[in-house]
A and B are shown apart, each in its own frame.
Chain A
C-alpha cells in the first residue's frame, strides 16, 4: 500500500512540476494545483498511514498522527489562496499583455523558422 501511495505522490509531483515548467499561465495554474495535491499527500504521509482510526478521541484505540493532518489543512487553505491569486494574476497578465504566455509574448516558433 505504502508503495502504491508513494508512486502516486511521485507521479503527481512529476506531472505538476512538468506543467509548471510550461509556457502558458493557465497551464501553470493547473500544474500548480496538481503539485499542491501531491504536496498535501506527501505532507500527510509524513506521519505514516493509518486506516480507520481518525484522530477523534474515544472512537478507537490507536489514532492517526493528527499533526500532519493539521499541517495539511493549513497547507490546503494557503494553497487555495495562492491558486486563486495565481489564476487572477494570469487573467490580469492576459488583460495587460494581450497574451497568456508567461513572458508576455509568444516566443518565436523555431519550426516555422525552419520552414522559411
Chain B
C-alpha cells in the first residue's frame, strides 16, 4: 500500500527546484531528482504483488456532489506506465542538467518538468475518471509551459499555443465523454466503470461517449487528423521532446484507449475507426519522416508513425493485439527517448540539427554514434533488439485480424510498407548523420558530450539490448500483468521469444528491411517526387485559421456592438415589448368588473392638456426651451390630477419636485445649444422608434385600464386600520412612508444623497464653455441680479421657512411631511441664489451641503437604530402623547425625528446639486464663446 503516496511525492517535488535554484546546478538537479526517485522505489516495493496479478485501489471522498474523489489504483498497466514515467523522467532530469545552457532558468524548467511528471502519474494511477481528467488537463498545461520555455522565440510561442489548443480541445471533449459515461454507469470510480462494459455498449450514448473519448485520445496521441501539433512541439528543449513528446505524454492518449479497452472496445465501430486511424497515421508518419531534414523533425514524424502503429494494434480485433500494443509502448518509449537524447547531444555539440549539414560525425563522436545507431536499429526493427520483437508480434496480429472482411489482407501489406519506410528513415538517420562525407558549414567542431550527458542514453540502449535478447526475463512479467489489467480477464496464450521459426511475420520483416534499403538507395527520386508537392507548414495554416476566425468574430462583434445608444435602447424597448405583449393577446377584455366612474369636464380638460402638452413636447423637442415649458405644463397637470384623485401628498410633492426640476433643467439648458441639430437619424429609425414606442404606450395604457377596472384585495386595509393605533398618525400615506415602509424611505433618501454626491463629482471636473449671447445673438442682460427680485425673494424667505415648518409638523397627520417641507425650504434658498448669486450666498450661508446630507442621513439612521435600545428591530417607531401647559396635548413620535433626517437630506441634496451647478455659471464665465 505504498503506491498511494506515489502521485504526491512529485507533487511536493514541484516546488523543490524553485527552492533549490539558489544552489549550484548539480545540487539543484539532485534535489529535484530526489522525490521522483523515492516514488520509483515505492512503486518497486509494490511491484511484486502487482506482478503476482493483484491490483490495489484506494479512494478518499473529495467533492461528493461532483463524484470526484481522491482515488488511486495500482495495477499492471499503471505500474508499467509509472515506471516508464519515473524512470525516463529521472534520466531526463540528469540529461537536462547538461543540456540547458547557463542562461536558461533551470529551476523553472525542472519545476515545469516535475509538474508534468506529477500530472502524468496522476493520469496513469487515477481510479476516478474525473480525477483522471483533472491530471489530463494538467499535462496539457505543463506541456504548454515546457514547449514555450524559450518564450523569446516565436516558433516556441506558436508551437506551444497550437499544442495547448489541440490537446485542450481534446481534453474538453474527453470531459464531455467522461461525464456522459459517468451518467450511464452511475459512478466515476474506475473499479465500477471497468466492470460495466456491457451496460455501456448497450446504452444509446455509446457512440457519443466513444467518439468523445477517441477525440480526446487522438488529439493527445497525435493521430491523424490531429497529428500536426507534434512536429511543432519540437520547438521545445530536447529533453522535453524526449520526455513528453516521445516517451510519455503522447502515450497518454494510448493509455486512455488501453485503460478503457474493457469498457469501450469490442464493437465494430471501435475496430474500424481505431484501426484505420492508426493505420493511416502510421503510413503518413513513416512516409513524411523520410523527407525531414531536421533531425528532430524526422524523429517527431517517426513518433507519429509508431503511435499510429500502437493505435492500429489496439484497434485490431485479435486477442493478442492489445498485448503487442503494450509491448510496443514500452519499446518505443525506450528507443525513441534514447534517440531524442542522442539527437540533442548532436545538436548540442555540433550546433545544428540539419541533416544536410551534419554528416560524418562518426569520427567526432564515435560512442554517441554507436549508441544512436543501436537505438535506430531497434527503431527499424532489427533482430536482437526490442523493436524487433514487438514488430514481429505486430505483423502476426495484422495477419490474424479480419476487420475489413475480404479486404483484410490490405492491412498486413500496408503494415509492411510502413515498416519499410521506417527502415528507410532509420537508415537515413544513421547514414546521413554519422557517415556520408564531411560536415558542411557547422559553427563549431563536433565532439563527444560531457560524460554524464551520455549516461541516460547508454542506460536506455542497454535496456533495448537486454529486452531484445532476454525478453522473458526482463519484461515478460510486467507485460503480462499489464495486459491482464487491460483485458480485465484471463490472458490468451502468447510467447515472447526471438525465434518463432520461419513464418509469415519473419518474411514480412525481411521484405520490410529489403524494401527499406531499396527506398533509401533510391531516395534521390523520392525526394524529387515529394519535392513536387508544396510542403504545407501546419503552423501557418493553423495560425491562419485562428486569425481568420478572430477577424470574423471581430466583424460580427462590430456589427452587434456598433456603439449607438439608440440601437441599444431600441433593443431594450423592443425586447420588453416582445415580453409583455403576448399575454395580453390571450386576454379577451381588459375591462374588469368594477363600474367606471363617470367622466366630467374638468378631467376632460386635464386630459386634453396632458395629451396636447406631451404632443407639443415631442413636436418642439428641437426647440429645447419650448419643449421644457410644455413639459412643465404636463407636470403641473399631473400634480393637479393627483390632487383630484385624493392624493394631496403626491400633489404637493409632485409640484415642489416639478419646480426644482424645471429650475435645474433651465440652468442646464444655459450650457446646451438652444436647439437640437435637426435630426440626422434616418427616417426609417424615426418610424421604427415611433412604432415601438406607441405599441408600448398602447400596452401600458390597456394594462393601466385593466388594473383600474379590476377589483383588488390588497394589503392596504391593514394600513388604514393600524395607521393611528400602530403608527400614531392619521395621514396614512405619511405613516406608511415613515413607519410601515420606512425602510423604503431610508433607501430613497440614501439615493438622493448619493445622487447629490455623484453630481458634485461630475461637476468637480467639468470644464464648460459658457455662452455670452443667447440663441438670438443678444448679449445677456447687464444687471445680473434684478433688484426687485432680490428684495421680494429676501422678504419672502421667512414666510417660506414658516410654511415649510408648518408643512413639516402637520405631516404625520395631514398632507405634508419632511420631504415636501425640505423641498419648500430648498426652493426658498434657491430663490436667494437666483436673486443674489452664488457669491452673495456663499458669504452668508456657510454650510457645507455634504455635511448637511450626512447629518440628515445620520439622523434618519440613528432614529432607526434607536429602536434597538427598546429591543425592537431597526426603524421600529415609538410615539407618545404628552401635554404641556399652555401648548396643550401634542404628540411626540420617533417617526418625526426620522422625518427631520429626511428634511435635512432633501435640503442638503437639492442645494448641493443646484448650488454647485450655479457655481459653474459664475466661476466659469472666463471661458468665452460657443464651442
Residues of A within 8 A of B (CB): 1-24, 26-27, 29-30, 33-34, 37-38, 40-42, 44-58, 63-67, 69-74, 76-85, 87-92, 94-95, 98, 100, 102-103, 106-111
Contact = CB atoms under 8 A, between A and B. Distances in A.
Interface in B603-660: 603-604, 607, 610-611, 614-615, 617-618, 621, 624, 627-628, 631, 634-635, 638, 641-642, 644-650, 653-654, 657, 660
A64 B563 CA distance: 47
B563 A103 contact: yes
Contacts of B749: 77
A29 to B, nearest CB: 7
B385 to A, nearest CB: 74
Interface in B675-702: 676-677, 679-682, 689-690, 692-694, 696-702
Given A9-B701, A94-B672, A56 B573 contact: no
A34 B617 contact: yes
B909 to A, nearest CB: 7
Contact of B615 (A15, A66, A79): A15
26 contacts: A9-B704, A10-B700, A11-B610, A17-B693, A21-B693, A23-B679, A30-B621, A30-B631, A34-B631, A37-B638, A44-B645, A48-B712, A56-B731, A56-B814, A63-B720, A63-B732, A64-B647, A66-B736, A67-B714, A71-B744, A77-B748, A77-B752, A80-B661, A83-B664, A90-B672, A92-B766
A64 B642 CA distance: 11
B733 interface: yes
Contacts of A79: 657
Given A1-B603, A22-B621, A90 B700 contact: no
Nearest to A59: B730
A19 B676 CA distance: 12
A69 B719 contact: no
Contact of B646 (A51, A83, A88, A103): A51
Interface in B205-240: none
Contacts of B723: 57, 66
Interface in B589-612: 594, 596-600, 603-604, 607, 610-611
Interface string B547-588: 000000000000000011110011001000000000000000
B646 A10 contact: no
Nearest to A60: B646
Contact of B819 (A1, A73, A94): A73
Interface in B739-784: 740-741, 744-745, 748-749, 751-752, 754-756, 758-759, 762-763, 766-768
Given A11-B697, A21-B693, A22-B679, A91 B671 contact: yes
A87 B661 CA distance: 10
A113 to B, nearest CB: 11
B569 A21 contact: yes
A83 to B, nearest CB: 6
Given A14-B693, A23-B566, A72-B650, 17 more contacts: A5-B708, A6-B708, A16-B614, A24-B676, A30-B624, A41-B641, A44-B645, A44-B647, A54-B648, A55-B720, A57-B730, A66-B716, A70-B737, A77-B751, A78-B751, A95-B766, A95-B767
Given A7-B701, A95-B768, A84 B759 contact: yes
B707 A46 contact: yes
B670 to A, nearest CB: 10
B500 interface: no
A108 to B, nearest CB: 8
A85 to B, nearest CB: 5
B813 interface: yes
B598 A73 contact: no
Nearest to B665: A87
Closest 8 CB pairs of A and B: A10-B701, A14-B697, A6-B705, A81-B755, A18-B693, A70-B736, A21-B689, A57-B730
A91 B768 contact: yes
Nearest to A18: B693
A13 B720 CA distance: 31
B199 interface: no
A99 B759 CA distance: 19
Interface string B482-516: 00000000000000000000000000000000000
Contacts of B680: 23, 106-111
A103 B772 CA distance: 27
A11 B689 contact: no
B926 to A, nearest CB: 15
Contact of A14 (B661, B696, B814): B696
Nearest to B610: A8
A3 B705 contact: yes
A48 B708 contact: yes
A9 B702 CA distance: 9
A8 B611 contact: yes
A92 B671 CA distance: 10
Given A26-B676, A44-B642, A51-B646, A73 B631 contact: no
Interface SS, B side = helix
B913 interface: yes
B693, B740, B763: which has the most chain A beta carbons within 10 Å? B693
Contacts of A67: 714-716, 719, 736
B762 A49 contact: no
B744 A85 contact: no
A21 B566 contact: yes
A49 to B, nearest CB: 5
Given A24-B676, A81-B751, A70 B741 contact: yes
Contact of A10 (B596, B618, B698, B741): B698
A108 B720 CA distance: 59
Given A26-B672, A48-B712, A110-B682, A74 B704 contact: no
B931 interface: yes
Contacts of A71: 744
Interface in B826-877: none
B815 interface: yes
A52 B645 CA distance: 7
A103 B564 CA distance: 6
Given A9-B704, A42-B704, A107-B680, A1 B597 contact: yes
Nearest to B669: A26
Contacts of B756: 81, 84
Contacts of A106: 677, 680
B646 A2 contact: no
Nearest to A6: B705
Contacts of A21: 566, 569-570, 573, 689, 692-693
Contact of B649 (A41, A50, A73, A84): A73
B668 interface: yes
A12 B641 CA distance: 14
Contacts of B752: 77-78, 80-81
Contacts of B566: 21-23, 102
B724 A57 contact: yes
Interface string B75-114: 0000000000000000000000000000000000000000
Contacts of A107: 564, 680-681
Contact of A4 (B603, B745, B754): B603
B917 interface: yes
B186 interface: no
B607 A50 contact: no
Contacts of B767: 95
Contacts of A58: 730
A110 B676 CA distance: 17
B705 A17 contact: no
B733 A45 contact: no
Given A18-B690, A85-B758, A51 B650 contact: no
A88 B665 CA distance: 9
